[in-house]
Amino acid sequence: MGFNHSLLRFAGIASFSLLLAACSSSQVQEPDLPEHAYYEKAQQAFSEGLPATAAKNLQELDSRYPFGEFSTRAELDLIYAQYESGEYLSAHASAERFIKNHPDHDAIDYAYYMRALSTYVGSQSLLQRYLDTDPSKTDPKELQKAFREMSDFLQRYPNSDYAPDGKARMVFLRNTIARHELQVAKYYLKRKAPLSALKRSQAVIEHYPSSTSVEEALAISIQSYNDLKLDNLALLNLSVLQKTYPDSSHIDEQGNFIPLPLPSDADPSFWYWVSFGLIG
């Protein structure tokens, strides 16, 4: 009992000593700068091309003066600073936070735009993960997310100053995702999986009808139905192709369907689109 009592007493003294040390160390921390000083330091960092430093100062301002005079401006600037620093996930999170906290702000369209843009540009980096020898395993979900977010921004703020850029990026996203889907569909046709190929081609027709890939999607659908021995559905899709694209390269002079030449693994154009342009 005496030994245990001494041990507990020693532990109590040690804990108290650690508490005193912690208190003394906290006393030597540098005092906070005035709110405007953090904001000015951030603007100076921007002017010197140092967005990461700007982001650090803006985060300091936000944590020390969350309801200050510069807090809302700092939240907007932080989105841009993180984006310029390549911190796309952080920029996206900051944009979402601004949207939640300031739904009626004059610059809310900018927050929606930057949210979508952060996903869009971040997805370009994520494409490095898609370098797989089996294109059916690739997943363009980040590009699809960017497409949805940019569409949301344009629907909410069609007259925004950022709308023209958003529309241009939407066109690129639509065509890239659709082209990728078709190359994966061709991969399935090559691997004798026509049902999987059909699902990919039909997804393009349904979800990206204004893309540049609809004609080829119809052709893949026809070939998939032919491989599945569903002749009536193949003829139905052929009639749609003939009416919509009368000069299609997939139709001969007699109106018959021309089977698709399937790419080989060595075809650079095949891997170019499967990898979103990273190969070939």
| Cα–Cα distance measured from residue 103 to residue 230, given in angstroms and rounded to the nearest whole number | 52
Name which of 22-36, 198-212, 239-253, 259-273 the model is least confident about: 22-36
CATH of the domain at 160: 1.25.40.10
pTM of the predicted protein model: 0.74
Residue 14 domain-assigned (yes or no): no
Residue 44 domain-assigned (yes or no): no
Q: Tell me how many domains the chain contains.
A: 1
List the domain range (segments joined by +) for residue 169. 107-118+130-274
| 60: its two tokens | 């300091």
| Cα–Cα distance measured from residue 267 to residue 214, given in angstroms and rounded to the nearest whole number | 22
Task: Average the pLDDT over 215-238 and give the result.
Answer: 97
Local confidence band at 125 (pLDDT 50, 70, 90 cut-offs): low
* pLDDT tens profile 16-74: 444 444 444 444 334 478 999 999 999 999 999 999 999 999 999 999 998 899 999 99
Residue 124 domain-assigned (yes or no): no
* pLDDT tens profile 207-226: 999 999 999 999 999 999 99
* pLDDT the model gives residue 53: 97
Task: Average the pLDDT over 161-187 and give the result.
Answer: 91
DSSP string, 85-131: TT-HHHHHHHHHHHHHH-TT-TTHHHHHHHHHHHHHHHHHHHGGGG-
Residue 259 domain-assigned (yes or no): yes
Task: Average the pLDDT over 82-95 and give the result.
Answer: 96
Local confidence band at 187 (pLDDT 50, 70, 90 cut-offs): confident
Residue 145 domain-assigned (yes or no): yes
- b/e string for 157-185 if b means 16 or more Cβ within 10 A? beebebeeebeebbeebbebbbbbbbbbb
Residue 86 domain-assigned (yes or no): no
Residue 47 domain-assigned (yes or no): no
Local confidence band at 123 (pLDDT 50, 70, 90 cut-offs): confident
Residue 11 domain-assigned (yes or no): no
| 161: its two tokens | 């100053």
